[in-house]
Amino acid sequence: MAGRAPIATKSSALIAMIADEDTVTGFLLAGVGNVDLRRKTNYLIVDSKTTVKAIEDAFKEFTTREDIAIVLISQYVANMIRFLVDSYNMAVPAILEIPSKDHPYDPAHDSVLSRVKYLFSAESVASGRR
Amino acid sequence: MKISMAEEEAAAVHGNGDSDEKVLEFLDSLEGYLTLMESLASTLRQGWFELASARHSMGVSRVSSASLDLKDHLASTYLEMTQHEFDESIMRQPQFSLRKWASFENGICSSGEEKPDSPQLRQRCPSQISENQEDLSKSDGSHTTVDDLVSVKKERSKSLSVFGTLVSPKLRAAQASFETALDILVEVANLRSSMLSARNQVQRGIEETRK
**Per-residue pLDDT tens digits for B108-152:** 433 333 333 333 333 333 333 333 434 444 444 555 577 777 888
Facing A45 at nearest CB: one of B65, B76, B88? B65
- Rounded Cα distance, B61 and A44, in Å: 19
Average pLDDT over residues B87-98: 69
pLDDT reported for residue B119: 35
Buried b (16+ CB within 10 A) or exposed e, B95-114: bbebbbbbbbebbbbeeeee
Q: Which domain holds residue A112?
A: 14-127
| pLDDT number for residue B114 | 33
Lowest mean pLDDT segment, chosen from A78-87, B2-11, B188-197: B2-11
**Structural domains in chain A (count):** 1
Query: Letter for the amino acid at A61?
Result: E
Give a yes or no: residue A100 inside a domain. Answer: yes
Best probe of the B interface among A47, A70, A90, by most B CBs < 10 A, is A70
User: Would residue A3 count as lying in a domain?
Assistant: no
Question: Would residue A2 count as lying in a domain?
Answer: no
Residue A3 has what pLDDT?
52
Q: Is the CB of A7 inside 8 Å of chain B's CB atoms?
A: yes
Which chain A residues touch B86 with a CB distance below 8 Å?
Answer: 6
Q: pLDDT at position B127, please? A: 37
- The number of domains in chain B is 1
Between CA B71 and CA B78, with CA B75 as vertex, the angle to 5 degrees is 165
Decide if A75 contacts A98 (C-beta within 8 A).
Answer: yes
Residue B58, in any domain of the structure: yes
Identify which has the larger pLDDT, B71 or B36. Answer: B36
The pLDDT of A26-39, averaged and rounded, is 92
The residues, any chain, with a CB within 8 Å of residue A93's CB and separated by 6 or more, are A13, A16, A62, A63, A65, A68, A69, A70, A71
In this prediction, residue B178 carries a pLDDT of: 96
Q: B84, A67: Cβ pair inside 8 Å?
A: no
> Which is more confidently placed, B144 or A17?
A17
Q: How confident is the model over B3-12, as a mean pLDDT?
A: 54
> Looking at the domain assignment, is residue A25 inside a domain?
yes
Mean pLDDT for B179-194 is 94
pLDDT bracket for residue B56 (50, 70, 90):
very high
Q: What is the pLDDT of residue B7?
A: 54
Which pLDDT score is estimated for B120?
A: 34
pTM: 0.78
Mean residue pLDDT of chain B comes to 74
Please report, rounded to a whole number, the percentage of residues in chain B having pLDDT higher than 70: 67
Determine the Cα–Cα distance for residues A31 and B74; give it in Å rounded to an integer: 9
Stretch B65-78: mean pLDDT: 80
* CA atoms of B1 and B8, how far apart (whole Å): 11
Interchain pair B84, A91: CB under 8 A: no
Mean pLDDT value of segment A39-61: 95
The pLDDT of residue B90 is above 60: no
Q: How far is CA A70 from the centre of its chain?
A: 6
pLDDT of residue B123: 35
Q: How confident is the model at residue A5 (pLDDT cuts 50, 70, 90)?
A: low
Nearest Cα to B100, choosing from B148, B56, B145? B148
CATH number for the domain spanning A99: value is 3.40.50.10580
Higher pLDDT, B127 or A128: A128
Best of A29, A66, A124 to mutate (most B CBs within 10 Å, chain B): A29
Q: How far is B45 from chain A (nearest CA, A)?
A: 7
With CA atoms as reference, the chain A residue closest to B30 would be A113
Average pLDDT, rounded, for chain A: 87
Residues B196/B26, Cβ–Cβ less than 8 Å: no
Query: Domain of B192?
Result: 17-63+93-99+168-210
Angstrom distances, CA of residue A94 to CA of A54, B112, B186, B202: 20, 26, 10, 21
Q: Is A57 on the interface with B (CB under 8 A)?
A: no
CB distance A70–B185 less than 8 Å?
Answer: yes
Residue A127 is predicted with a pLDDT of: 52
> In the prediction, which pLDDT does B12 show?
53
Tell me whether residue B181 is in a domain: yes
CB B102 within 8 A of CB B136: yes
Whether the per-residue pLDDT at B95 is higher than 50: the answer is yes
pLDDT at A25: 94
pLDDT band at A82 (very low <50, low <70, confident <90, very high): very high
* pLDDT at position B195: 87
Report which of B210, B193, B14, B204 is spatially closest to residue B95, judged by C-alpha positions. Answer: B193
